């Protein structure tokens, strides 16, 4: 068997990881190659290890990579990869599970921040509202989690962490899943729902909802005006997956009209193929919007786990074993403009 | 036995509760009495049911209440009661346990808000910091709870809820308690510590610390410059008991000099005997300060539980049974200026 050519296009992979990979492949780093050498290497590359899809790797360059067969992502989501330009034989692997702990905790941080109205009351005090009497109505909009219902949309690694924390807070947990495997959740007090109508009934019955599913052609814009209209008036919606799961215009209108409904997010909408903190509507002027600048993922990266797991999976491919977390390419049609 | 005279000085007690109390006492409500009648009633009153100590009830009026023997609070803390003016025979009962669930959840909301830097990063985005690159260093200051140590100072009802949630997040939990009874905590994976030096070692070893103890003459100013200096540099200190447990000047200085250390509070310092959102130092201008305007308690009141429990305990007294939650009067010397 010919030796693999692996190109690493991420600064996150350290030298000890590179040494492990060198046992099974010729390893190159794009950051160490000049433009001409890179163009040559790309044509020889059969495996890619990436973080966010690099801006310099244009569709034209990608089309020149005739030998490419495998892409391993270090991020959990793969929606940034230009699937429509990839050769049919390329297998794409996500890094599912690598971020579950940190992102799940962050989801609960956002959920409690919004449920307990931490951000908006803090800012009111900071802006000089210093009479306790002015906060008298606040308690009505504070969500006590115990005994309430948590809806988890997407029951993968992150969804399972979120569901477990919800149970710890004494919540009833309903999880929307399309996988048969996740039926195991029931054993831990999580009710798994599936199929048509499940989304609507989950939204209608939940006091807090966490979006924990990948952005694909099946999930883009999944939460629109209709879905928001069935949600409880005082519910908290948390997004730690991708901004574009939620329709931006519909959400803004819903938040403006329903001051007791809250949206707390770590992820933002795409513009020209890139996530941006610049929104089409003035969300941060609304007291019922909480947004952190996509900081849950980097926290996980700092643990070293995502790189370690991505390298392990790449090693599986290089050694001729079946890699984990192969994504269904047909679900990722998104055209990313670089 | 002569029938008791109970005076209710709180708007929170509903008519059904009054009916229950009437079976065992003559019940009066201060809000329904004119000034002269009230002065007469006070002299006959042997039991008081109060929320926050009423401003109109001056020391002089209190001294006229020669028959007073029992005060039941609806709030969990009793530090607002003018103990120095109370007759020696007056038994004072707190409402310990009535707020544990809601206040414990709020404590975790504050803890996660600060740990995940929700408030300061949200505000940075709102103020126009909209380039993800500017947040690159943020992940270093995000505290992942799993595997870290939570110190709980005060292991009563609220402390136990906080400790339990800490265990759910996979934290090691150490609780500082002075009660022998709370040794039961050990069974739930909580390490109970006591005595001299325990405070210092708890602070030095904890990544997050929650203050959950009453304000007494033993606890006022308990967290000062020396205690803060032994805490971990990136620790989160949460206060849901009373502002004055922490020395205001020392805290401000510590937060200013240690931007990675965070303080998140629902309770504020006393000024002229009343809690106020107006502080001596510009805390809300610091990114490592999070403050909600004492909203955890009212959430619990909304559940009806605090009034119900306070009424139950008052009934115990009226029926000649031993009331629960009798406080040690010697610990409450605080002179409240009304």
Residue pLDDT, tens place only, B28-50: 999 999 999 999 999 999 999 99
A294 contacts in chain B (CB < 8 Å) = 132, 135
> Is B101 touching A (CB cutoff 8 A)?
yes
Cβ neighbours around A332 below 10 Å, total: 23
Q: Does B337 touch chain A (CB under 8 A)?
A: no
ipTM, interface predicted TM-score of the complex: 0.91
Optimal mutation site among B55, B75, B98, B109, interface A, most CBs of chain A within 10 A: B109
Please check whether residue A182 is in contact with residue A162, taking contact to mean a CB–CB distance below 8 angstroms: no
Determine the distance in angstroms separating the CA of B236 from the nearest CA of chain A, rounded to an integer: 14
> Quick one: closest CA in B to A301, which residue?
B139
In chain A, the residue whose alpha carbon lies closest to the alpha carbon of B303 is: A144
- Measure B143 CA to nearest chain A CA, in Å: 8
Model pLDDT, residue B181: 60
* Residue B321 burial (CB count, 10 A): 10
**Mean pLDDT lowest among B102-116, B143-157, B167-181:** B167-181
Per-residue pLDDT, A336? 42
Closest by CA position to A289, among listed A263, A252, A254: A263
- Per the CB < 8 Å rule, is B278 touching A125? no
Interface contact flag, B116 A106, Cβ < 8 Å: yes
User: Does B133 contact chain A (CB < 8 Å)?
Assistant: no
pLDDT of residue B2: 79
Q: A-chain residues within 8 Å CB-CB of B125? A: 277, 284, 291-293
Nearest CA to B223 among B53, B206, A227? Answer: B206
Q: Which residues of A touch B135 (CB under 8 A)?
A: 293-295
Q: CB contact, 8 Å: A15 with chain B? A: no
CA distances in angstroms from A268 to A97, A265, B253, B318, listed in the order given: 21, 8, 36, 59
Among the partner residues A130, A168, A277, nearest to B168 by beta-carbon distance: A168
The pLDDT-based confidence of B188 (bands split at 50, 70, 90) is: confident
Write the residue in A105, A118, A131 that is nearest to B113 by C-beta.
Answer: A118
Which positions in chain B touch A119 (Cβ < 8 Å)? 113, 118-119, 122-123
Question: Is pLDDT of B337 > 50?
Answer: no
Average pLDDT value over all residues in chain B = 93
Contact B292 A122 (CB under 8 A): yes
Contact A264, A237 (CB under 8 A): yes
State the smallest CA–CA distance between residue A163 and chain B in angstroms.
12
Nearest-CA distance A288 → chain B (Å): 12
| Euclidean distance between CA atoms B141 and B137, whole angstroms | 8
Longest distance between any two alpha carbons in chain B, whole Å: 76
Q: Which residues of B touch A138 (CB under 8 A)?
A: 293, 295, 298
Q: What is the DSSP string of B124-145?
A: HHHTT---GGGGGGGGGGPPP-
Residue for token digits 């579950």? A100
Chain B residues closer than 8 Å to A298 by CB: 136, 138-139, 142
Q: Which strands, in side-by-side order, build the sheet including B47-50? A: B25-29, B4-9, B47-50, B70-73, B91-93
A287-333 pLDDT per residue, tens = 999 999 999 988 898 889 999 999 999 999 999 999 999 999 988 86
pLDDT number for residue A146? 96
> Which of A259, A207, A217, A214 has the alpha carbon at shortest distance from A239?
A214
Which residues in chain B are closer than 8 Å to A288, comparing Cβ atoms? none
- At residue A335, the pLDDT reads 44
Confirm or reject contact between B189 and chain A (CB < 8 A): no
pLDDT tens for A320-335 read 999 999 999 988 865 4
Residue A49 C-alpha, separation from nearest chain B C-alpha, in angstroms: 22
Among candidate residues A4, A214, A240, the one with its CA nearest the CA of residue A114: A240
Chain B contact for A108 (CB, 8 A cutoff) = yes
Q: Tell me the backbone φ, ψ of residue B217, rounded to 5 degrees.
A: -70, -10
pLDDT along chain A (338 residues), means of 10: 91 95 97 94 97 92 96 93 92 95 97 98 97 89 96 95 96 90 63 91 98 93 97 97 97 98 98 94 98 93 94 97 94 56
Residue of higher predicted confidence among B93 and B186? B93
């Amino acid at each position: 068997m010919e030796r693999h050519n692996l190109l690493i296009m991420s600064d996150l992979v350290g030298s000890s990881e590179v040494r492990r990979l060198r046992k099974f492949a010729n390893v190159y780093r794009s950051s160490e190659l000049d433009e001409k050498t890179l163009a040559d290497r790309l044509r020889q590359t059969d495996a890619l290890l990436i973080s966010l899809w690099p801006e310099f790797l244009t569709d034209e360059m990608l089309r020149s990579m005739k030998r490419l067969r495998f892409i391993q992502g270090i991020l959990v989501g793969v929606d940034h990869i230009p699937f429509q330009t990839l050769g049919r034989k390329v297998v794409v692997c996500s890094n599912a599970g690598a971020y579950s702990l940190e992102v799940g905790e962050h989801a609960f941080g956002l959920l409690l921040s919004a449920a307990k109205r931490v951000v908006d009351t803090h800012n009111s005090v900071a802006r000089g509202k210093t009479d306790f009497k002015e906060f008298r109505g606040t308690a009505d909009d504070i969500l006590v989690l115990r005994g309430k219902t948590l809806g988890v949309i997407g029951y993968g690694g992150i969804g399972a962490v979120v569901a477990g924390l919800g149970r710890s807070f004494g919540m009833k947990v309903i999880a929307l899943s399309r996988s048969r495997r996740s039926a195991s959740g029931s054993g831990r007090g999580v009710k798994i729902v599936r199929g048509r109508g499940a989304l609507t009934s989950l939204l209608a019955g939940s006091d807090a909802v966490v979006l924990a599913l990948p952005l694909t052609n099946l999930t883009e814009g999944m939460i629109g005006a209709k879905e928001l209209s069935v949600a409880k008036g005082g519910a908290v919606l948390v997004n730690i997956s991708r901004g574009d799961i939620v329709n931006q215009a519909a959400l803004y209108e819903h938040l403006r009209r329903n001051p007791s409904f809250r949206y707390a997010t770590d992820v933002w909408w795409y513009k020209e193929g890139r996530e941006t903190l610049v929104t089409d509507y003035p969300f941060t002027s609304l007291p019922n919007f909480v947004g952190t600048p996509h900081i849950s993922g980097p926290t996980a990266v700092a643990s070293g786990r995502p790189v370690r797991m991505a390298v392990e999976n790449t090693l599986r491919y290089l050694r001729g074993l079946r890699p984990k977390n192969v994504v269904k390419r047909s679900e990722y049609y998104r055209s990313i403009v670089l």
